[in-house]
Structure 1
């Protein structure tokens, strides 16, 4: 079993406008022994809130010279692949080897898709085409392509990122299996049980073998969680946060978004690690961002000991 890498996501905290506070928080992440920071991406989610994943990743990478960043997940199907490839090439020059790109489709708010100029009915096919083009462009190819959604003539993006930027596929179900097996270096799950994670991972490996393609080697999961010394308080804080963001009752998430003490959350995460989730990102809700970092670090310590003992 590969060593567990556990990181943290806090969109607002790590993009605070005060650079001194931002560096202090990121230093705390590193000193706590966490392995990466994950930044999300939304253009206009439900009430208009959002954050650009590429800009957020740049902010973190330029604020700390050791941290790795996962963009999880970038809505590539709502962007032009030529422009996305240029951003990735430039970012790789600034922070080589410290970025992993997770990509997915917007699904929870169809208006986010249509207001970006994309037909929600075709967003999946558009992502597939964009994925193929971004990979070819980042590999340094000169690309001529006349497809359903994009037209490129003798297009090229240089310099080629070195080392290569891993591209992992977000999502679930049959589409995530197919897309990862066909295009991805790995899979990034969210809102799934440990049992479903293990099943999907195995299906991806089998599907890649059927395509005579090298097996994806990167498997991770993002997990919302409430963390506090008082388990009831942890649940209350998490419910308020998720209901405000997703506009659905927390009860719909309670079995895949745990809340409790660090010890309780570590116990609930153990089956993911044992099922091959090498990269786990916690999206914590706590009393403060400092408390969240410390609690996630405790989860990592407890989880590492539990997995190492099995």
Structure 2
């Protein structure tokens, strides 16, 4: 059975709006929540970036839906021992309905303390060690660890859930997908690529959950929706590794001029064509995903939730 969730964007909305969207998502029939974890938005037009762990605490009191970070980087800006405490507390507050989604991060968020931004291979090595540290801490036992990248001395989490927090690993290429297959409790990726799902499952992931996310822009004026996407999320259509290596929102703003409205029109679902929305999410199901999360770009959140509640969610494959 495929589950459908809503993807809360901390880059585009402040805490109060995110909590209200969580309520609307639950009322509309969504089954789970993703929430992004950033220090900066991708550009100034998005305009927000609240501390995700505070927002999760509020969401846990507002709705009963499962929550997952999509995704947290536990390697540079925050030490894995601190992330472990935040995740364990989130799991307790949600009654065990929290998953920690992790990834190797972006310079945009992780370079802010002046740390060197390492190459991908080193970042994945750091991520693996960070996961080892966090899993030991989730046991509630005292941990001392002297590793290649991290040191922990006499650390113990006293507030822990009954079961260890599941850790899902994000991957967009073969190396990260291989890591997810080998040590993850699940796999996260943003494209409905059957080949990546197959690599995860054959590489050791087996029947563990695979989750994906899609951004759309519902609106009755398709052209206006296209302009909204280009203004707010053109960064998602930039090619290559720029999303991982550019250090500030202004750099993304400089490059998003290269993304035309036609590019947006060809690569994002914009407007109110039910079949297009259904097809975009069904592509993940066809590729073997277990969970699909959708995010509405722009301010018309109420219209989006009404549209999905009445017209889209009832038609999605289960």
The normalised TM-score by structure 2 is 0.80
Q: Which segment is superposed worse, 153-162 or 83-92?
A: 153-162
Match of 1:155 in 2: 155
User: What residue number does 2:90 align with?
Assistant: 91
Deviation at 1:95, TM superposition (A): 1.6
Gaps of 5+ in 2: 236-248
CA distance in 1, matches of 2:211, 2:285: 9
Q: What is the CA distance between 1:84 and its match in structure 2?
A: 1.3
Match of 1:264 among 257, 273, 276: 276
Relative to structure 1, the CA distance from residue 112 to residue 86 in structure 2 (aligned partners, 3 Å threshold; closer, same or farther) is closer
Shift of 1:147: 0.9
Distance 1:103 1:296, change over 3 A: farther
Tell me what 1:211 maps to.
none
- Does the CA contact (< 8 Å) of 1:40 and 1:74 recur in 2? yes
Contact 2:212 2:289 in 1 (8 A): yes
Q: How many aligned positions are there?
A: 288
Structure 2 distance, partners of 1:233, 1:37, is 27
Q: Which residue of 2 aligns with 1:119?
A: 116
Q: Is the 8 A contact 2:6 2:32 kept in 1?
A: yes
Q: 1:223–1:256: 8 Å Cα contact kept in structure 2?
A: no
**Which ranges in structure 1 are unaligned for 5 or more consecutive residues?**
209-213
Verify the 8 A CA contact 1:10 1:39 in the aligned structure 2: yes
Residue equivalent to 1:72: 70
What is the CA-CA distance between 1:90 and the residue it aligns to?
Answer: 2.0
Give the structure 2 partner of residue 41 of structure 1: 37
Tell me by how many angstroms 1:75 deviates.
1.7
Highest relative contact order (Cα 8 Å, sep 6+), 1 or 2?
Answer: 2
**Distance verdict in 2 for CA 1:267–1:204, change over 3 Å:** same
Alignment deviations for residues 139-187 of structure 1 (CA, whole Å, 9 cap, x no partner): 3343332112211234322343223322111131112212212221111
1:229 counterpart = 2:220:
yes
Pairwise CA distance, 1:225: 1.0
> 2:26 and 2:56 mapped to 1: Cα distance?
16
Match of 1:132 in 2: 132
- Residue pair 1:96, 1:163 contacting (<8 A) in 2 also: no
Shift of the 33–14 alpha-carbon distance from structure 1 to 2, 3 Å rule, reads: farther
In structure 2, what is the equivalent of residue 171 of structure 1?
171
Structure 1 residues 184, 152: CA separation in 2 closer, same or farther (over 3 Å shift)? same
1:57/1:34 Cα in 2 relative to 1: closer, same or farther (>3 Å)? same
Stretch deviating more after TM superposition (28-37 or 229-238): 229-238
Confirm or deny: 8 A CA contact 2:89 2:160 kept in the other structure: no
Question: Shift of the alpha carbon at 1:33?
Answer: 0.7
Give the direction of change, closer, same or farther, for the CA distance of 1:146–1:216 in structure 2 (3 Å limit): farther
2-structure distance, mates of 1:173, 1:254: 25
Equivalent residue in structure 2 for 1:205, among 177, 201, 205: 201
Shift >4 Å, 4+ stretches: 45-49, 250-256
- CA RMSD across the alignment: 2.7
Q: Deviation string for 1:71-116 (max 9, x for gaps)?
A: 1111212211111111222222222222121111223xx3533223
